[in-house]
Amino acid sequence: RKEVEQDPGPFNVPEGATVAFNCTYSNSASQSFFWYRQDCRKEPKLLMSVYSSGNEDGRFTAQLNRASQYISLLIRDSKLSDSATYLCVVILAPRMDSSYKLIFGSGTRLLVRP
Amino acid sequence: DGGITQSPKYLFRKEGQNVTLSCEQNLNHDAMYWYRQDPGQGLRLIYYSQIVNDFQKGDIAEGYSVSREKKESFPLTVTSAQKNPTAFYLCASRPGIRSGELFFGEGSRLTVL
């Protein structure tokens, strides 16, 4: 089983729709969670952190469910410019060498159509 | 402007040749990383370095080598031992070991003919 799993999609939605993605993680020692956005053939960029109580940034809402070990990203009022791949990232508790390992999901592709 | 610069952006090489990808950052970050991304897949960690003159293997280090002689620079060599070198290579740095924010370069797309 992969440490971090995402539905690859694509999620094909009309402009203005609300869409949600989930990302499940298997390691209960996972400490921190993030969503990154990656445009086609470009580098990933941090979209938002995910806090335990849930957090919102404009049209984007991130939630964490520790009991079920998943995080979610909700996008309201989808825009054409939201079309991208959304990667979830999990940081594990420190290892023996005190490094904090980041694990990337393989991404969920979103296509917003006119 | 602070950031990470990778070069070259596109690279074509013949099978059996070693290739070195450059990564330079002026963000004063201690930690630097090299990832590989294949179509439809997530990022896989090749090597990382938390301080100068030190680096560790990631999940797929075989066929790759790195050096970290300066804080600003973390070059990656793709050797002839790497069986499937064609991929998108991303260099990143991180402000602190607990930070979830990675700052990425624009990537280097390597094609082996």
Which contiguous run of DSSP H or E holds residue A13?
Answer: strand A11-14
Question: A23 — contact with chain B (CB < 8 Å)?
Answer: no
Higher pLDDT, B101 or B76: B76
Distance of CA A35 to CAs A50, A85, B15, B67, B81, Å?
Answer: 7, 10, 36, 30, 34
Residues in Cβ contact with A29 at an 8 Å cutoff, skipping those fewer than 6 apart? A92, A93
| Structure-token pair, residue B110 | 């390597």
Q: What is the average per-residue pLDDT within B37-52?
A: 89
Confidence band for B64, pLDDT divided at 50, 70 and 90: very high
Give me the DSSP letters along A19-66. Answer: EEEEEEE--TTEEEEEEEEE-TTS-EEEEEEE-TT-EEETTEEEEEET
DSSP per residue, B8-52 = -SEEEE-TT--EEEEEEE-S--SEEEEEEE-TT--EEEEEEEEET
Q: Which of B42, B48, B109 sits opposite A87 (nearest CB)?
A: B42
Residue A4, min C-alpha distance to chain B (Å): 10
Is the omega angle on the peptide bond into residue A94 within 30 degrees of 0, that is, cis? Answer: no
Cβ of A46 within 8 Å of Cβ of B41? The answer is no
Q: What is the pLDDT along chain A (114 residues), one digit of tens a residue?
A: 788 999 999 999 999 999 999 999 998 888 889 999 999 989 999 999 998 889 999 999 999 999 999 999 999 999 999 999 999 999 887 666 666 778 899 999 999 999
Q: Say whether residue A46 is in contact with chain B using an 8 A CB cutoff.
A: yes
Q: What tens digit of pLDDT does each residue of A16-46 get?
A: 999 999 999 998 888 889 999 999 989 999 9
Residues of chain B with Cβ-Cβ distance to A89 below 8 Å are 100, 102
User: Distance (Å) from the C-alpha of residue B32 to the closest C-alpha of chain A?
Assistant: 12
Q: Which residues pair with A25 in a beta bridge?
A: A4
A104 reaches B (C-beta below 8 A): yes
A69 DSSP 8-state letter:
T
Q: List the structure tokens of B64.
A: 């790759």
Question: Is the pLDDT reported for residue B67 higher than 70?
Answer: yes
Closest CA to A86 of A7, A30, A1: A7
Query: Per-residue pLDDT tens for B13-38?
Result: 988 899 999 999 999 999 999 999 99
- pLDDT score of B53: 94
Residue B94 has pLDDT above 80, yes or no: yes
Mutate to test the interface with A, among B43, B54, B108, B111 (most CBs of A within 10 A): B43
Residue A82, SS3 per DSSP? helix
Query: Residue B104 — very low, low, confident or very high, per pLDDT cuts 50/70/90?
Result: very high
Q: Two tokens at B14? A: 């013949």
What is residue B81's predicted lDDT score, i.e. its pLDDT? 85
| B interface test, pick of A34, A47, A86, A102 with most B CB neighbours within 10 Å | A102
